[in-house]
Structure 1
């Protein structure tokens, strides 16, 4: 088959959801395209395999950013999932929605239908929370959310030290109050990762006759005729092919891939496209703009406490039976997501919302896990939840091929530095508080870093992404020159073309971005179903006022 009603580009956190929900209607034919391979790698499904995922190039795009001027010219490593489930197959599985005000702010900006009251039903619809149903949580959805089956004792020490330092213990970061410290709920099912591929593309879903899933297919561009998307041009098995979409093309390729494909299709800033000799289909200057991400700092301590996850001869012998324990019972340390503990707090008490998030790892983490230091210890990640810096995704040619040019522009707004300094100081404080600090010695950056100027220098030389890029196909109202899609996620100026993924977020939410992306896809599926249930009449594409 080369002709479908709907073609979805990208089988990640959004695309897998859309494929499931849209193929529920038997008379709608759906094609789901994924550039990566099938999600068969064991490291995806065993939660502790997270420690190895950064090294597995076959399931990771492994992007590198442009040199960052405010980070002393460093080029940062940006891992993104390249397999069924996308980044939900390689992330740390933390289930966080953000706070109600994040979505109410979207609605206040004019995006009708995106308030917390509007989106909560879709969070609950997707969710199968093992704690049971409540006012804020759902059961029976495709995305299993559970408590960790194994929590390291050092992570419990982190919680205790944080409580001693003034944070309230939280049983649910997705409850009515986000601020506090506790253990993350995770996207796991029976001790295994529950990516969107596992949750939404189970064998019975894959067997639907109206759903076709194609892997290892690279989408080169969207075909456009008279301001209407008609299909996609792909490369599969080293051969070009044209796939026709009779009703919709939906981009769910993420904050990097979706703007890249739009620009390759001649949809974007005309000056940039013309400079690359790309024929312009539509001047839409917001494509690739408004890039936001959570910049992440770390502080790490070495300890003699061999209960932490570490490389040492005693730990190798102690944990020798853990693979068998996992294989037989789905229990033990292999069910850990490693980033077990978390916290949300305010960098200054005058703020309305927590603006710092922590991820606690009872292990020494270096270079996204690509380096494996010997010994034991713990690492605390801290990020600024509401950065004011804005970057962009551009295109560049490398050996004649178009590639994404990622320019996050971190710390370009001076207000983004102070929260990171506050986060660093808090992490150092609790790391020296009993019981976490008992017998711990600061490893990085070390005692030589003390003043604010020294901390800032350390941050510029060592901060990295915490894997939350959003915003590059911004959802916005008429008159917003950076708006790429409207509140119904339709690309402005091109009919039958939508973007449904994290790139549509107008502003980044206060937490991990996987759960909000799933919510966006659930809502988009209902929008599409409602549109397709109406008499088939081509509506004029929306345009900027």
Structure 2
């Protein structure tokens, strides 16, 4: 048994950094933050350039390399804030209605607003500076307005429209959650990196220890409260390895069930989309090359929030994302760039699963996003509506002179499925719910059913995905749940 803490936070990603920071503000509370990946230290300049560079999407510090794109997840202190696109947007009032129904009034738009503001301030989120707009981004904004979309604040609840995200990029520096939240000078905060959380030991409805593997050796951390913040893939996996989950599945992989919770690993929700490639004109290539020489070339700096016919009034269920710059995958000759427009389904009806292949934490998980699998075919209809908007946007007087392409609306269903990508926003695998919901894993304060001293506090607790990029909502929910834990002490 290694030491003893008031709180052990398992997972040093976005939510974990927030929780460790807020809970250790009380000097009388000892907190241990556990992260499987590396901690590159308090000196920002000592971090690898790829993680500091806000222009790119680094893929070195991840759990699996050369794998399906929907499986990519960060393995580094700071989590996805170290490897994503530095974008922060917020969902609609309809999202909050779904969350409030599952978790209570703390999840309303009004109740969560202070936590959203705290996250914006701590992450130093800002509007996109004028100098970071490329010719393509400016034309895309003009094209959106040409289609009738009004300018909206992407960092707050609202309605459909066009605009720019809030970004955690400071003059090209990716300001990740570890930089923003972790105070290395607090003697009551221990950061344990390179430590894979294997399982929690359960006895008589309580956790008696958290087993972690460090440099090949197994250690057990003891605490009064354990918080799982390993993300939408890692959190259900840790619970299942601990015997907390669907009993039949646990027995099938040789794990003794401790608490039968069928919702663990179910309800996986991510946002699928299709990228429609366009051919840049020589003028656009030259303009992008000039922007790159200035060190100010960003692939995307604007988006459209759009509503399909299936969408509730006042909400949106599509992101239309124009992009131009270095390709996300592969490479092009110098002076040549990739351009295109993506349509992402923001409120999918399809649900996937996260399951174990074995009890070994080093065995890759069985992750099935089940994109476009809803029986009624609503997601496919929504996607096709998004592709119609893509086609109309590409044909506007603002964008048409910069790139040419071919219509995508005539693609068959099979063609669309083969071209599917992801927005990398998985949620829902340890979903919160009301006491009478048999699929719920946690309550509105993140407390796990059937276990007295265990909470989950990350994207996995959201029962539905917001119509937004999920980093800002996850920051806010971690701020909220940290406050709930403080009140419970």
Same fold (TM over 0.5): yes
Q: Secondary structure at the match of 1:396?
A: coil
From 292, 306, 325, give the equivalent of 1:363: 325
CA distance in 2, matches of 1:400, 1:199: 29
1:312-335: CA deviation from partner (whole Å, max 9, x where unpaired): xxx3xx56854xxxxxxxxx416x
- Post-superposition offset of 1:111: 2.5
* Pairing 1:494-533 to 2, within 5 Å after superposition: 494-532=451-489
For residues 400 and 157 of structure 1, the distance between their equivalents in structure 2, rounded to whole angstroms, comes to: 47
Distance, in Å, in 2 between the alignment partners of 1:23 and 1:371 is 43
Aligned equivalent of 1:148, options 106, 111, 128: 128
Matches within 5 A, 1:434-473: 434-442=397-405, 446=406, 449-451=408-410, 454-473=411-430
Please say if residues 122 and 519 of structure 1, whose CA atoms lie closer than 8 Å, have aligned partners that are also in contact.
Answer: yes
For residues 168-207 of structure 1, the C-alpha deviation after alignment (integer angstroms, 9 at most, x for no partner) is 233x223453311122221233442121111102xxx111
* Superposed displacement of residue 396, structure 1: 0.4
**1:342 counterpart = 2:342:** no
Alpha-carbon shift at residue 493 of structure 1 (Å):
0.1
Compared CA separation, residues 63 and 395, structure 1 to 2 (3 A) = farther
Cα distance, 1:2 vs. partner?
2.5
Count of residue pairs brought into register by the alignment: 475
In 1, the alpha carbon distance for the partners of 2:14 and 2:167 equals 15
Answer whether contact 2:277 2:339 (CA < 8 A) is retained.
Answer: yes
| Contact 1:152–1:308, Cα closer than 8 Å, also in 2 | no
Q: Structure 2 matches for 1:111-150, cutoff 5 A?
A: 111-128=104-121, 142-149=122-129, 150=132
Aligned to 2:382: 419
Matched, 1:31 2:8: no
- Structure 1 position 115, deviation (Å): 1.2
Is the counterpart of residue 293 in structure 1 residue 254 in structure 2?
Answer: no
Gaps of 5+ in 2: 41-46
Asked if 2 retains the 8 angstrom alpha-carbon contact of 1:501 and 1:521, the reply is yes
> Are 2:178 and 1:178 aligned?
no
Which range moves more in the overlay, 342-351 or 36-45?
Answer: 342-351
**Cα distance in 1 for residues equivalent to 2:70 and 2:284:** 30
Note closer, same or farther for the CA distance 1:10–1:296 as it changes in structure 2 (3 Å cut). same
Pair 1:214 & 2:221 matched = no
Map of 1:275-294 to 2, 5 A cutoff?
275-294=252-271
Are 1:309 and 1:363, in contact at CA under 8 Å, matched by a contact in 2?
no
Partner of 1:206: helix, strand, or coil? coil
State the alpha-carbon separation in 2 of the partners of residues 303 and 200 from structure 1.
Answer: 41
CA shift digits 1:78-137 (9 cap, x unpaired): 211111110111111111121222112222346242111211111112222xxxxxxxxx
> 1:32-111 alignment to 2 at 5 Å?
32-39=33-40, 40-50=47-57, 53-54=58-59, 56=60, 59-62=61-64, 76-109=69-102, 111=104
2:141, 2:162 within 8 Å by CA — same for their partners in 1? yes
| Structure 1 pair 349–29 and aligned structure 2 pair: CA distance change class (3 A) | closer
Distance 2:459 2:358 in 1: 25
Q: What are the superposed Cα offsets for residues 410-439 of structure 1, whole Å, 9 maximum, x if unpaired?
A: 111111101100111111111121221115
**2:88 partner SS:** coil
8 Å CA contact 2:10, 2:230 repeated in 1: yes
Task: Assess if the C-alpha contact under 8 Å between 1:308 and 1:378 holds in 2.
Answer: no
Q: Distance in 1 between matches of 2:249 and 2:31?
A: 33
Distance 2:235 2:218 in 1: 20
- Check conservation: 1:96, 1:174, Cα contact below 8 A: yes
CA distance in 2: counterparts of 1:284 and 1:11, whole angstroms = 25
Counterpart secondary structure, 1:403: coil
1:373 and 1:43 mapped to 2: Cα distance? 19
- 1:110/1:183 CA distance change after superposition, 3 Å: closer
Q: Is the 8 A contact 1:81 1:87 kept in 2?
A: yes
1:262 to 232, 239, 253: 239
Q: Compute the TM-score of the two structures, normalised by the length of structure 2.
A: 0.92
* CA pair 388-163 structure 1, distance change in 2 beyond 3 A: same
Matching of residue 158 in structure 1 with residue 140 in structure 2: yes
Aligned to 1:385: 346
Quote the Cα distance in structure 1 between the aligned partners of 2:361 and 2:27.
42
Q: Using a 3 Å threshold, how does the CA distance of structure 1 residues 63 and 271 change in structure 2: closer, same or farther?
A: farther
Question: What CA distance in whole angstroms lies between the structure 2 residues aligned with 1:461 and 1:385?
Answer: 19
CA root-mean-square deviation: 2.2
How far is 1:60 from its partner?
1.2
Between stretches 97-106 and 84-93, larger displacement belongs to 97-106
Aligned to 2:44: none
Choose which of 447, 465, 484 in structure 1 pairs with 2:441: 484
